[in-house]
Amino acid sequence: MISKKIKGFFYGADYNPDQWNKEIWKEDIRQMKVHGVNVVTLPVFSWAKIQKSEDEFDFSWLDEIIDLLYENGIYVNLATPTAAQPAWMSKKYPDITKTDMYGRKYKHGGRTNFCPNSPNYRRLSKKIAKEMAENYKDHPAIVLWHINNEYGEYCYCENCRKNFIKWLKEKYDTLENLNKCWYTSFWGHTIYDWDEIEVPSALTEILPGRLGGRDGTNFQSMAIDYRRFMSNSILECFLGEAEEIRKITPHIPITTNIWGICDKLDLFKWGEECDVASWDNYPSSKDHPSLISFRHDVVRALKGGKPFLLMEQTPSQQNWQPYNEQKRPGVMRLLSYQCISHGSDGIMFFQWRQSAGACEKYHTALVPHVGHENTRIGRELTQLGEELKGLEDKIIDSKIESKIGIIMDWSNWWAVEYSSGPSIDMTYIDRIMKYYKPLYDLNIPVDIVNPNMDLSKYDMVIAPLLYMVEDKAINNIKSFVEDGGTFITTFFSGIVDENDHVRLGAYPGAFRDLLGIWVEEVDALYPEMKNGIVVEKELNMGKDVYDCNLICEVVHSQGAKVLGRFAHDYYKGYGAITENSYGKGKAIYVATEPEEGFIRELMKKYCDENKIKPILKTSEEIEVTKRIKDNKEYIFILNHSKKPQQIDLEVKKYKELLKNQVLKGIINIEPKDVFILEEY
């Protein structure tokens, strides 16, 4: 439970009352009650309003609105306003605004325009956090702290350079070690004095847009270190504020809303420091529902499976995509339950009242420009509020149980996407989705895991494109297999250590003995090229030959069984899929990127072997997930399609909680509708 004060789901929005007069505040409260809002987030961007100068703090307007909210039964998720510093502050302390990768020093403007290593930003953001904690420490409305907003901007200034050098000294101890780990013998880059180190930027070692629009680099180990350092610097900003707050209100949990599955921050490290994980879900209407599910699963992983909070979504239209389609009727409700079905204990929106000016005025809000609730979106919001209230605390604090872990790792993400070769199409999240989606289609739940975590609770661990892997993780994965686990990995995995140095001997270095193979060559196919996988009888799949593309590796077995072979080219007949027994378990290698149907069959085979069953068997357009609390199961059925669908509930009888109906046997679910089933 995020807060004992709110027994059911958090339901509310970012609230910016400083854009409106006090008459409107009263109308806001009336409409919040209509929709059943029980919590609002404020004052996310009000630093300039609260602090007019260095020594002047004015909380009077904030006190007034927080009191008014509380008198009306609405709680507050109290935000520190540090994502947008006041103009006077940028002027007075020029070290605060950031410097971009091209060396351009920013002037005041926009938001998240601060250098995470600016001593003045650090000092002043701690100060406002402390002032706020002092001011609101006894206020009964406060249920959660929301530090900053959507962290994730990097800086390349002189302060960052100095701090980078400090960080590197701690990490490498000696220049000899740093030179070795950065491989500076290449292109005569040896460093003889710490002060010779420059930050990797477009002026030094970064090659913007070089890799199919992504940035390349001359020195991967240096560039990856800079990402580790930046993620950590930004985390230090968060921790600076959190420490001040924790001293004063240790009983109130702290979160920060992360922006999507952001590649700028090592979110597993952030998860360790937050009390509650929360994130902002802004999918494009073209995103497949499985991609949204995956993102929810990543956020759930940050606190080891504990419920998270959806901090922002839009009721309908966004404003910042190239084309901002309205969410069709029922879609907002469907996406809200999808989020809950993956572990959220609340649904929050951006924002409460739609702005009349500036760049977010066409981003829909709970109160649209027309000003009242008698709209399609208004009615959908009221319905959702009533339904969530009706669920009370039944599902709150429930967990998702999975027997499959899919490995995700930020350093690996950076290493994969900075890699110059073998293919620019070798992007990390897309490779994970190749394995996530078939399991999603089969209604088999998965957890996202980090390679150093305890894997013993899983029967299967899948590591798509685990290119960079440190020794500790290798041993962790090996023990998992030794103890009976099934490990599946793909092409270009196990290749480099944490410094992005190739593990010499043969690919896939880290996993050679585990997989019982060695890889002689890695072929990268043009997008229009393909090869095939001829399936051995033993694999017993739907077809004899499947397509594959992207990467094809020339694999030699050293004890592994070959389950599928390449169909064409000079490596025709070489293993494309291998399986190796290791300890009590097995390790499977997929040396190419097979078509979706193949991966689905492969997932089915190993799920069957491990007795992992779908929650329910349905068409692929139906998503089924399950949350469990006190040994009671709650099954979510979501119809993402545009047509009614039939589902066989088999022998059990269920109570459906949203429409309060009893369901059994073959049932129908309307397009975009949701069922939550409890065993009857």
Q: Which residues bind Zn ion (CB under 5 A)?
A: 115, 117, 155, 157, 159-160
Smallest separation, CB 91 to Zn ion (Å): 17
Region of 165 please: left (phi>0), alpha (psi -120 to 50) or beta. Answer: alpha
User: DSSP code of 352?
Assistant: S
* For Zn ion, the closer CB: 94 or 644: 94
Q: Cβ neighbours of residue 420 under 8 Å, at least 6 residues apart?
A: 210, 211, 216, 217, 220
Write down the least CB distance from residue 233 to Zn ion, Å: 8
Please give the Cα distance from 243 to 80 (Å, whole number).
13
Nearer residue to Zn ion within complex by CB, 97 or 490 = 97
**In a 3-state reduction of DSSP, which class is residue 513?**
helix
3-state class (DSSP) for residue 639: strand
**CB count, 10 Å around CB of 512?**
17
Looking at beta carbons only, is 116 or 532 nearer to Zn ion?
Answer: 116
How would you label 8-26 residue by residue, b for 16+ Cβ within 10 Å and e otherwise? bbbbbbbbbbebbeeeebe
Catalytic residue among 150, 380, 553, 601: 150
Residue with tokens 């339901």: 11
To the nearest whole angstrom, how small is the minimum distance from the Cβ of residue 319 to Zn ion?
Answer: 29
Does the active-site annotation cover 482?
A: no
Closer CB to Zn ion, 82 or 159, in the complex: 159
Shortest distance in whole angstroms from residue 155 CB to Zn ion: 3
Burial class (CB within 10 angstroms; exposed 0-12, middle 13-18, buried 19+) of 679: exposed
For residue 93, the minimal CB distance to Zn ion (Å) is 13
Tokens of 593: 């990127």
d(CA 457, CA 599): 23
Nearer to Zn ion, 155 or 473 (CB): 155
Residue 447: which of 403, 412, 414, 510 has the closest Cα?
Answer: 403
Q: Minimum CB separation from Zn ion for residue 115, in Å?
A: 3
Where are the alpha helices (H) located in 356-492, listed in sequence order?
376-390, 410-418, 428-441, 471-482
665 DSSP 8-state letter: E
Measured from the CB atom, the residue of 25 and 238 that comes closer to Zn ion is 238
Q: What tokens appear for 282 in the block?
A: 């802004």
Of 156 and 546, CB closest to Zn ion: 156
Q: How far is the CB of 94 from Zn ion (least distance, A)?
A: 12
User: Residue 378 in contact with residue 606, Cβ under 8 Å?
Assistant: no
**CA–CA gap between residue 301 and residue 308 (Å, rounded):** 9
Q: Which is nearer to Zn ion, 163 or 341 (CB)?
A: 163
- Phi-psi label, residue 197: left if phi above 0, alpha if psi -120 to 50, beta otherwise: beta
Q: 76 or 115, CB closer to Zn ion?
A: 115
Helix H or strand E segment including 28: helix 22-35
Q: Can you tell me which residue has the tokens 């007949």?
A: 573
Q: Is it true that the peptide bond before 422 is cis, omega within 30 degrees of 0?
A: yes
Task: Give the shortest CB-498-to-Zn ion separation in angstroms.
Answer: 25
Alpha-helical (H) ranges within 495-595 are 512-515
Selected catalytic residue, list 244, 312, 553, 579: 312
3-state SS of the chain: helix, strand, coil percent to 5? 30, 25, 40
- Please report how close the Cβ of residue 200 comes to Zn ion at its closest, in angstroms: 14
Place of tokens 């572990």: 343
Distance of closest approach, residue 195 Cβ to Zn ion, in angstroms: 17
What residues have CB less than 8 Å from 494, skipping those under 6 apart?
466, 467, 469, 474, 503, 507, 508, 509, 510, 511, 512
Other C-beta atoms lying within 10 Å of the C-beta of residue 193: 7
Per the annotation, the verdict on 150 as an active-site residue is: yes
Question: In sequence order, what are the residues at sequence separation of 6 or more whose Cβ sits closer than 8 angstroms to the Cβ of residue 549?
Answer: 525, 527, 529, 530, 531, 592, 593
* Residue 492, helix vs strand vs coil: coil
Q: Which is nearer to Zn ion, 3 or 159 (CB)?
A: 159
Residues identified as active-site: 150, 312
